[in-house]
Each structure stands twice: as C-alpha cells, then as structure tokens.
Structure 1
Amino acid sequence: MNMMKLISWNVNGLRAVLKKGFLATFTALDADIFCIQETKMQAGQAEVNTPGYHQYFNYAERKGYSGTAVFSKYEPLNVTYGIKPFFDDDEGRVITLEFPKFFLVTCYTPNSGGELKRLDFRAGWDEAFRAYLTDLDKRKPVIFCGDLNVAHEEIDIKNPTTNHHSAGFTDQERAGFTVLLKDRFIDSFRHFHPTKVEYSWWSYRFAARSRNAGWRIDYFCYSQRLQPEITDAQILTTILGSDHCPVELDTTDALLPDQPAKEDA
C-alpha cells in the first residue's frame, strides 16, 4: 500500500550537519516531506542538493540563529512564512505549506532560556501559535511538527523531578501544550505509543545521549479528524548528526497530493 512519509528534524545547524552525512540520511529516509528546524543560516550560505524536491526556507534576521526549512516532493498550493497577524516573528520559526487536503506546518518554538528569562515571550508565542493553528484548522485539517521545546508529560523526560523549573518542562509550558492539543489536535507518538519511553533530544553535556538522559520535545501532531489516515509515528533514535534525532509520521496515500513536484531548477 502506498503511504506518505513525513520527517521532522532539528539539525542544530544545517551547514554543520551537511558535513556529518546529512544528505545520505536525507536520501535514505526518502520522505515525501522533510521539515527542518534550527538551520542557523542565511540565504546563500549553503547549497543543499535534494533532486526532486522543492525547497522552502525561512531565515532569521539574526545571523546563525533559528530558522526553518521544508523539502517537499509535492508542490504546495501556497506557502507562507511566519504566523502573522498572530505574532510578528523575525526569527524564521514557521513555514506553512498548503496542500489540497491539509496544511503542513513546521515550527521551531522559542526556548524559554536560562533562568527562564524568555518565559513570558514563550507564553505569548504559545498563545499566538495556538490561535494560528486553530484558524488554519477551521479551513482544512492541519499536520504540524517540529521542535516544540516542551516535554509534555513526565514520561517524556528522563529526570522529571529535578526539571520542573527548567526551560521546556515548566508547569506553564506543559499546560500550554495541553491547551493546544485539547479537543482539536493529537500528539502522534503518544497516540500510537501511550506508554513507550523514547526521547528526541539529549544535551551535549554529561554524555547524556550515551546514557539516554533525554527529553521528547520533537513532535508530529495533527487534527483529530485526520486520525483515520494516520498510520504510525516513530522517533528515529539511531540517527546521529545533531543533539536531536528525527521524528516520523506515516499516513495513508489518501493524503498524498495528486502529482509529485517537478525538480526545481
């Protein structure tokens, strides 16, 4: 049976990961749509050779910071950057592709930072992003993915008891994600694997990855009414090159656009 495969990966610097076998991984995964967060680059700073894919980049104004990208075998009906008018973002955090049967949104959610200095900014972002997704969902179903910078439940983090005041696991951030999902969206991995303990991010410090002292902060979520077409969700923990690993969403071919994109010149 044909299916559609979607991949999302925070590469923690696209130029850096290109030197660590990214293109070989990209080719091997053979995703229909491949979303990237934290590209950390500006236009023209790297050539990413992905034959057969349309490429879309949203760059942060600040050099070497944030940024997102999407590579798609299928040409979307429309592409938008950012989430205006809900939030005026100059950090390149969101790209939205509209396809005939759904919206695809990739997002790099702001981190609340050391000593939670950006927690208020993050709270404003969460509220705006929720409003943006809700608005899209009124028009057609939504699949959204990315590094959402929150470990939702205690099962999603190795050491929950010592991290309740850490960026990405504060009560406020976790509650915000609960509200985002409530009555509208489904966390794909937790739906298909309700008790499975797997992580998608490990600090570079303290040999965290070798000890599997990680966090699950990378997601694919989707509108509830898409559930009949969603077949699986995985965390690809064996893929190296970043402090994050990719996450995957599989759907039936019912969501596939009609024609593959022609290769970009």
Structure 2
Amino acid sequence: MKLISWNVNGLRAVLKKDFDATFKTLDADWFCLQETKMQAGQATVDTPGYYQYFNYAQRKGYSGTAIFTKHQPEQVTYGIGIPEFDDEGRVITLEYPRFFLITVYTPNSGSELKRLDYRQRFDQAFQAYTTELAAQKPVVYCGDLNVAHQPIDLKNPTSNHHNAGFTDEERQDFTRQLDAGFVDTFRHFYPDQTDIYSWWSYRFGARSRNAGWRIDYFVASNNFIDVIEDAKIHTEITGSDHCPVELVTKDLIGD
C-alpha cells in the first residue's frame, strides 16, 4: 500500500500546477496534505474514489491540513484537544482497526525564532498525543515537521545552525520523539543517504542547486515497523517548494 505526504504551500495554488495529474500518477491509498491555506468552500478537489477530510485554520489563508483516502476510517479526529494548537488546523487523525494515521503540520519557529517557544510546546503536546495512541495500536504520522534532524538532512548545516528548523532545541525535541518509541522511516531504510531533500527555498535558485532541507517525514511507532517496506522522496515532482514523500507498506486494511 502507498501513503503520500506533501506540503503543497497552498492547495488552491497547486491545483493550477498539475496537482490532478500528480495525484493520479502517485495513486496513493492515503494522500496527506499540509499547508492547504484555505477555508471550507474555497476550492473543489476532484478525487473520485477518495474520502476527503479537511482541518482548516481559523486564520484565513494560513496553515491547514487534509487527507484524501480510498479507505474509510472508523473515526476521524481533528486536532489534539488543545485549543491553542487546534485553532491552526495542524492535525488530522484517522483511526483504522490496525493502526492510526496522522497528518501533521508542525509550527515553524519563524524569523528570529519568535515562535520557538510555541513550537516547542506543540512538540511536547504532540509527542504526548502520539505516545498515548501508540499504546493502543500502531501509529504512523506524516507531514512537514519543520526540522532537519541531523546535519546530513540539509545542505548547509554549519551556516544554518540556530536558524528555524535547525536549532538545537527543535532537533532535541525530535530526538525525544524518536526515543519515545518511534522511527524516522526514511533513515530506517537509508541511514547514510546524502543530498536528498524535501524542501528548497524559492530564493537564490536553491532547488536548481539542490540546496535543500529534509523536513518532511513519515514517522512510525516501533510496533508499526514490521509492515513498512520502503520510503521514498519524490524530488522530481514540482508545484510547491516541498516535494511529496512516500511510505510503502504491506496491506494495512485486509483481513
């Protein structure tokens, strides 16, 4: 089975950039989006055969997440039950008999790290949320986590040290999440792979120079690892400043 995650940097914008063709080509069982930047009724996404779930931020044109899936869940949960985070539409959880699937758009710490404290509170709350779910059944979550975990995960680690997405605090928070019983699935398969990223700044021709960051992930609880088969990063797909990332698994739905 195939799961895709993509920060589209505005769903209405990417719909004008061959999103439909990309969606059909990838043909995922679950297609998770972050940074949809829209409100209910502002766009129609034609995805025959898929159930659609959206979580909108209260602030217009900001944040937001969505999941399109071929497989109807038992339950859908929006947010993590904490208003200061849930107002920004950052999390959707689908529950299935065998596992939980979560899409998440982690807050960016912002220029001059103005939101680092908010982001760290989110990280702590999200870790508590995922750990509680993993005690019930396996969990896989995906999305733009806004952190490059190790120096191998960005082109210029030295010059970006202490910048948003590569602060010691953000990296340590992600390490704590993994230490709580989770795994970065791409590094599970490709621990030493260099020069492969999922986000490039629009400035300075960063993508053409491959001066990027790997900040989009599929993270799985340890009790999910036996069903994953591969992880991929679709650097060839454009339309956003991020590219889609993929997780391939055994059958998660059948008897």
TM over 0.5: yes
Amino acid paired to 1:232: D
2:174 and 2:113 map into 1 onto residues whose CA distance is 17
Residue in structure 1 matching 2:216, options 215, 218, 235: 218
Residue in structure 1 matching 2:81, options 73, 80, 84: 84
Amino acid paired to 1:247: V
1:161 and 1:204 map into 2 onto residues whose CA distance is 20
Amino acid paired to 1:126: D
Question: Which residue does the alignment assign to 2:114?
Answer: 117
Question: Which residue does the alignment assign to 2:94?
Answer: 97
Residue in structure 2 matching 1:11, options 3, 8, 11: 8
Question: Which residue does the alignment assign to 2:204?
Answer: 206
Question: Which residue does the alignment assign to 1:188?
Answer: 185
1:204 and 1:224 map into 2 onto residues whose CA distance is 36
Question: Which residue does the alignment assign to 2:50?
Answer: 53
Give 1:256 deviation, angstroms: 2.3
Structure 1 stretches (4+) deviating beyond 3 angstroms? 85-88
Aligned residues: 254
Give 1:85 deviation, angstroms: 4.3
1:130 and 1:176 map into 2 onto residues whose CA distance is 9
Q: Deviations over 1:35-87 (max 9, x none)?
A: 00000000000000000000000000000000000000000000000001486
Q: Deviations over 1:216-257 (max 9, x none)?
A: 00000101122111000000000000000000000011x125
2:112 and 2:140 map into 1 onto residues whose CA distance is 32
Amino acid paired to 1:68: T
Give 1:101 deviation, angstroms: 0.4
Q: Deviations over 1:152-206 (max 9, x none)?
A: 0000010000111110000000000000011400100001001112100000000
8 A contact 1:229–1:251 mirrored in 2: yes
Greater Cα shift, 49-58 or 220-229:
220-229
The answer to which structure, 1 or 2, has the higher relative contact order (CA under 8 A, 6+ apart) is 1
Q: Percent identity?
A: 70
Question: Which residue does the alignment assign to 2:231?
Answer: 233
Greater Cα shift, 225-234 or 202-211:
225-234
RMSD (Å), alpha carbons: 1.0
8 A contact 1:86–1:131 mirrored in 2: no
Question: Which residue does the alignment assign to 1:166?
Answer: 163
Provide the secondary structure at the position in 1 that maps to 2:123.
Answer: helix
Structure 1 alignment gaps of length 5 or more = 259-265
2:161 and 2:112 map into 1 onto residues whose CA distance is 12
8 A contact 2:131–2:180 mirrored in 1: no
* 1:250 and 2:248 correspond: yes
2:204 and 2:222 map into 1 onto residues whose CA distance is 39
Question: Which residue does the alignment assign to 2:123?
Answer: 126
Residue in structure 2 matching 1:63, options 36, 53, 60: 60
8 A contact 1:21–1:241 mirrored in 2: yes
Residue in structure 2 matching 1:27, options 16, 24, 37: 24
8 A contact 1:86–1:129 mirrored in 2: no
Amino acid paired to 1:90: D
